[in-house]
Structure 1
Amino acid sequence: MEVIDLGKALCVITGASRGFGYCLALHLSTLLKSGSILVLIARSEGKLRELQAEIRSSGVTEETLKIKNVAADLGKKEGVQEVVRVLTETETSSFNHMLLINNAASLGDISKFVVNLTDLEEVDQYFSFNFSSALCLTASLLKHFGKRSGLKRTVVNISSLCALKPFKSWSLYCSSKAARNMLFQVLAEEDPDIRVLNYAPGPLDTEMQVAARSQSGDPELRETYARLHESGQLISCSQSTSKLVHLLLKDQFKSGCHIDFYDV
């Protein structure tokens, strides 16, 4: 039976300042019980303040939900450390749910084919933001929220079809998404007490899609995304958010599995 809320939770969303993360924060803010804390993480402090103001304008009060904005660059060690500091300073004993949504990601330089990726620093920086930060943040939060009676722990990885299928000129993005999928599958195997989901939101109508149809090195890929846009087949963030929320509330997925927007 599907529940109607996510409990009294510490809910953490990375990449919350725009697109899917922004929409998800708005939706989840209405599903957290009184006394919950919503932690919003992104590079832009200004965008996070705009999001917080929009959440408040919807009627969600400070008494009902505390919101913490953390402006940090997850591609840098200092950024990850700052997020971990904020989270581990949070009193956890009163919560019955810890929900972490690893949404932050970037396409990288999608104009380059594999043979052009010769700059080790460029590749390292990409994976620091798109893979290593998600690993270290998840591990740190799970250590802080150890297993205890009455506490549910849920970790969501915002995945992609690219985790399963190769896309020409998208080697960095495909590789990082595949690595993240496997990371969270391993987590699910290591600790059956943690609910783990790899959710692919589908081709979203976001800034990332604009880049996909204008900057992809592979002309076929540019044409494919241009056709999706022109034919109105891109998915709105609100549509995809609703499906993810449905999965979280129903809570019947196999831990560690990969579920696509079109599977729900």
Structure 2
Amino acid sequence: MPVAIVTGASKGFGLALARELSARGWQLVVDARGAEALKAAEFGPSVTVIPGDVTDPGHRLELVNSVSQLDLLVNNASALGPSPLPALADYPLEAFSDLYEANVVAPLALMQLALPLLTKVDGTIVNVSSDAAVEAYEGWGGYGSSKAALDRLSAVLAVEQPSLRVYAFDPGDMRTEMHQAAFPGEDISDRPEPSTVVPSLLRLLDERPPSGRYTK
């Protein structure tokens, strides 16, 4: 039975992915900051729920220590930053720092902890990215630049760990709470549900193309 850690799995893309992996017979460890939402989510069998914040070193250690085998790490948990999205000229620097802690530092720290297990099985890392990492959208300087940094970490790690598959996966716009927070008061019902994007990531896991940046 393959084993995966999926962060940010209480809702949105993380929840949809965790449910599908569980249905495929994976053993999962999932987390999220919202303990009640995480515990209330219906994942299926063989899922260990560990509420917590990925910016907490102790929580990251708990996630990795909960498994003796690891085939897949999905760094899905992330923060948007202030809403409405501020221009860079007005971006609160403390919030900017917090954003990088959640979207760049925490994923790197979790990858560092997981590498000894992943390298044993030539495993896979998926870092969930965004089109804001490669396109310049007004107001998206904080979030977009943090995802661009995560993309670069993914690319360099792939070079340094050639036995692994390291993917920066851009799921595109989705109908999620985070996306709604980026567009307060707007109707985002035209965006696809996260569950419709999951098959694109599953194809990566099944086909294992070379490490790189992939979109849905």
- TM-score w.r.t. the length of structure 2 is 0.91
The code of the aligned residue for 2:210 comes to: K
* Corresponding position: 1:171 with 2:171: no
1:89-104 to 2 correspondences below 5 Å:
89-92=66-69, 98-104=71-77
RMSD: 1.9
Q: Which has the larger radius of gyration?
A: 1
**Distance (whole Å) between structure 1 residues aligned to residue 77 and residue 30 of structure 2:** 11
**Distance (whole Å) between structure 2 residues aligned to residue 147 and residue 212 of structure 1:** 37
**Residue 242 of structure 1: which of 185, 194, 199 is its match?**
199
Q: Which runs of 5+ in 1 are unaligned?
A: 1-7, 216-221
Which runs of 4 or more aligned residues in structure 1 lie more than 6 Å from their structure 2 counterparts after TM superposition? none
Local SS of the residue matching 1:258: strand
Q: Which residue of 2 aligns with 1:85?
A: 62
1:89 is displaced (CA, Å) by: 4.8
Local SS of the residue matching 1:147: helix
* Corresponding position: 1:69 with 2:49: yes
**Residue 182 of structure 2: which of 192, 201, 212 is its match?**
212
Q: Which residue of 1 aligns with 2:210?
A: 254
Q: Which residue of 1 aligns with 2:31?
A: 41
The code of the aligned residue for 2:78 comes to: A
1:247 is displaced (CA, Å) by: 1.9
**Distance (whole Å) between structure 2 residues aligned to residue 71 and residue 123 of structure 1:** 24
**Distance (whole Å) between structure 1 residues aligned to residue 156 and residue 180 of structure 2:** 33
**Residue 108 of structure 1: which of 63, 68, 81 is its match?**
81
1:156 is displaced (CA, Å) by: 0.2
- Of stretches 98-107 and 120-129 in structure 1, the one that deviates more from structure 2 is 120-129
The code of the aligned residue for 2:89 comes to: V
**Distance (whole Å) between structure 2 residues aligned to residue 185 and residue 140 of structure 1:** 18
1:154-169 to 2 correspondences below 5 Å:
154-169=124-139
**Alpha-carbon distance change, 208 to 120 in structure 1, aligned in 2, over 3 angstroms:** closer
**Distance (whole Å) between structure 2 residues aligned to residue 163 and residue 126 of structure 1:** 14
Local SS of the residue matching 1:214: coil
Q: Which runs of 5+ in 2 are unaligned?
A: none
**Residue 101 of structure 2: which of 124, 128, 136 is its match?**
128
1:46 is displaced (CA, Å) by: 1.3
Local SS of the residue matching 2:5: strand
